[in-house]
Structure 1
């Protein structure tokens, strides 16, 4: 089913094949879907470009070497950044019994990628024995691939969540920790302690991560590296490039090339 404009009723039906895959054509314009959910579990990723995925507990930025698993009925929103080509596998709730119960990001293996691409060519009909085997491979890969952290967890405390969302909206905001604590009506000590408790990151590390994930979105959208550095509040393009390289193992320019090439270029 090589078309993302499928009948939405299919992703909410337990009838038909227990797994089917849709793949979209390359598109130059960004797309966005607001909060929604499916009765089927969903594994989705990109062949080219970058996705950001919003769930209740956080925001994930997903390059082509990763995929997102969402259990059935899990509310989420999706947005692409820059030229994009993606795919989605939908699995009936019954077939999700032994799959992760919480959303997670997975590093896409070569086996999973090839199985998904093959399944994307199938018509929407009952699976024969050969196709059932390929579909089982996809399910097994979801079950066994290690989950990876490639997102921005959100705090649950309402005061901290307000601060976090303000920083997501404007990662370049230069207010220091004390100023943010005052703005959020929380003590500096509580801000520091609870950010670690609820996100696993210190406030400073979380803010740095928010900036770097926004940098990925801006790279995918074609923004120049120097402009990204300035817009995100770095002291210089060199400082931004060095931090980016330490975090992602490549310079922003090289990472942009990988996004443009897609998973096949990894």
Structure 2
């Protein structure tokens, strides 16, 4: 692959007589270049995956870095633009907003594990893939709550990541970690940004929030969970939880309970 590319299963197999599919084709293809595409809006839900390379999707002033481990849901009506890195490959799955209720109301990153990766790559290679497959939507929009958390590869950053996954409540700053590992804070921060697509602070926040899911599921109170995972206040934890999961910790617990009862 010598340049960025966008592959949209919905568009490739759309019925040319279906108005909704024609709208999807224009929205996906208009303005797309090897560098990306300008801000636009879809009237359908879109799932983006990058099996090769990396892209940055900007939605409502927030940058979302997509890599082979991270996908992105773009609900219908969310304005967004994209920047493609050289040699990147973008896979797009689209779904009718009226037929498929998406649990997200804003651009939301999700982890692409082995099952989702195989599914997306199989559909990309298949000329007979059915657009808007209900089973595909269920798999991609399933209740996989944990935030994507790519692991850094360099020695110092990897050591910090392992320690934070073991104890996300560790309060040490990037500077304090760097001093303990005999490196510079600039180098440590750069390693997290380059190797994971996340700042040190954002990576640590995600590790804390992921750990909080298990604690909440075990029945711990919100304030106790906030303290155990390293937030200085319950309010700070609630705000971070809502920003990343689009719901409060209390709402998350209620949803889990309702699903269990159902």
Q: Shorter-chain-normalised TM-score: which range?
A: 0.3 to 0.5
